[in-house]
Amino acid sequence: MNEFLRQLPKVELHLHIEGSLEPELMFALAARNGIDLPYASVEEAKAAYDFEDLQGFLNLYYQGMNVLRTEQDFYDLAMDYFKRARSEGVLHIDMHFDPQAHLQRGVPLEVVMAGLLRAKDEAEASIDLTVGVIMAFLRDRPAEEALHVLEQAAPYWKFLDAIGLDSAERDNPPAKFQKLFVRAKELGLVRVAHAGEEGPAEYITEALDLLDVQRIDHGVRCLESDEVVKRLRDHQTVLTVCPLSNVSLKVVDQLSDHPLPQLLSEGLKVTISSDDPAYFGGGLLENHIACAQAFGWEADTFRLLNQHAIEEAFVSEGRRQELFKRLTDF
């Protein structure tokens, strides 16, 4: 089954590029930029990738991204993950990135965008990997700041496939960002949001009603509300579920406790992704393998999950049809 899953054409809808920063690359970029890390070795850094909740992870996440300073750094970060993912059978990635996390460190948006877009262009030209671009906003930062950053990003609107909402969900309801998402809709930008990971099922309803999103990132707590489940099923709103992330962040104690099988049995449109692979135990392939082991899923389930992902990916229609054909022919 593992080799089948490696070769299976896969699509990832929920990936934070800053969360793909492996300790080895972190050390290399720190050395290049003359930055001192609080770890003596790669092994020590890996040992520190242990946290109790989302906030604990975010503290590490922001500390790690401090090594990202130049266009080349962002290019190297993205290409490192793109090549690794492609070697594991991934054909498309919708990539979130967090401009505020870099702006508040004094790294200009132009530097971030130049590096990420160069990596996207190179991946699409040379390694048979397409990349969607999602500008995500930090829900634990002021909503006014997010609006300012969106306007500041005007030269790059044409490169964005969507805007998103991520970071610490607890006590940061979707309603806080209604103006931001209304503005994004005016600009013709697609909208997605994290909801129902740490936050309650009501946050999913808020994201749908107030932010008018077409995709719910995570969404596992929808099962706390029959009404929310029915709505997601009736509209076939996609959930980008991140199994190993949910274990790492203690959403569930162990993968065998995960509600993924129930989400599928409820007729919901589910996909699986890695979220922040450097921190949560691996990329899309590792998430597939872990689910096969935990749930005893057969090939047809994994085909269905990736069919859902292809249907919802931010990709040209020509590429979408190509991906469908490759999945069907496999």
CB-based burial, 291-329: b 16+ in 10 Å, e otherwise: bbebbebeeebbeebbbbbbebbbbeeeebebbeeebee
51-55, 163-167, 179-183: range with lowest mean pLDDT: 51-55
Please compute the mean of the pLDDT values over residues 200-216 and round it to a whole number: 98
Q: What pLDDT does residue 296 have?
A: 98
Give the percent of the chain with pLDDT over 90.
93
Structure tokens at 229: 């489940």
CA–CA separation, 129 and 147 (whole Å): 31
Task: Using alpha carbons, list the distances in angstroms from residue 196 to 33, 199, 258.
Answer: 38, 5, 14
Mean model confidence pLDDT for the chain: 96
Please compute the mean of the pLDDT values over residues 259-271 and round it to a whole number: 98
Q: What pLDDT does residue 62 have?
A: 87
Please compute the mean of the pLDDT values over residues 44-60 and round it to a whole number: 83
**The model scores a pTM over 0.95:** yes
Q: What confidence tier does 49 reach under pLDDT thresholds 50, 70, 90?
A: confident
Q: What confidence tier does 48 reach under pLDDT thresholds 50, 70, 90?
A: confident
Do residues 182 and 191 touch, judged by C-beta distance below 8 A?
no
Q: What pLDDT does residue 56 have?
A: 81
Q: Is pLDDT of 60 > 90?
A: no
Q: What pLDDT does residue 72 have?
A: 98
Q: What pLDDT does residue 54 have?
A: 79
Phi then psi for residue 272, to 5 deg, are -120, 145
Q: Which of 197, 198, 206, 312 is catalytic?
A: 197
Count CA atoms closer than 13 A to 329's CA, side-chain side: 6
Q: What pLDDT does residue 197 have?
A: 96
Q: Is 197 a catalytic residue?
A: yes
Largest CA distance in the chain: 53
Please compute the mean of the pLDDT values over residues 251-279 and round it to a whole number: 97
Do residues 68 and 33 touch, judged by C-beta distance below 8 A?
no
Please compute the mean of the pLDDT values over residues 60-64 and round it to a whole number: 88
What ranges make up the beta strands (E) of the chain? 10-16, 90-97, 130-138, 162-166, 190-195, 215-218, 238-241, 270-272
Q: Is pLDDT of 46 > 90?
A: no
Phi then psi for residue 212, to 5 deg, are 55, 50
Domain CATH code at residue 299: 3.20.20.140
Q: Is pLDDT of 160 > 90?
A: yes
**DSSP state, 272?**
E
Q: Is pLDDT of 50 > 90?
A: no
> Which residues, 6+ apart, have CB-to-CB distance to 118 below 8 Å?
71, 75
Q: Is pLDDT of 53 > 90?
A: no
Please compute the mean of the pLDDT values over residues 294-309 and round it to a whole number: 98
Please compute the mean of the pLDDT values over residues 298-326 and round it to a whole number: 98
Q: What pLDDT does residue 190 have?
A: 98
Q: Is pLDDT of 122 > 90?
A: yes
The residues pairing with 131 across neighbouring beta strands, listed in sequence order, are 93
Order the strands of the 130-138 sheet from edge to edge: 10-16, 90-97, 130-138, 162-166, 190-195, 215-218, 238-241, 270-272
Structure tokens at 32: 């290049």
Q: Which residue type does 257 have?
A: D
Number of domains in the chain: 1
Taking only the tens place, the pLDDT of each residue in 14-32 is: 999 999 999 999 999 999 9
Q: What confidence tier does 63 reach under pLDDT thresholds 50, 70, 90?
A: confident
Task: Using alpha carbons, list the distances in angstroms from residue 62 to 28, 82, 293.
Answer: 17, 21, 32
Which residue range forms the structural domain that includes residue 167? 2-329
3-state helix, strand, coil in the chain (%, to 5): 60, 15, 30
Taking only the tens place, the pLDDT of each residue in 321-330 is: 999 999 999 9
Do residues 218 and 241 touch, judged by C-beta distance below 8 A?
yes
Give the percent of the chain with pLDDT over 70.
100
Taking only the tens place, the pLDDT of each residue in 221-248 is: 999 999 999 999 999 999 999 999 999 9
From the number of C-beta atoms within 10 Å of its C-beta (0-12, 13-18, 19+), residue 254 rates as: exposed
Structural element, H or E, at residue 5: helix 2-7
Q: What pLDDT does residue 52 have?
A: 78
Q: Report CA 105 to chain centroid distance, whole Å.
A: 22
CA–CA separation, 25 and 42 (whole Å): 9
Please compute the mean of the pLDDT values over residues 63-87 and round it to a whole number: 97
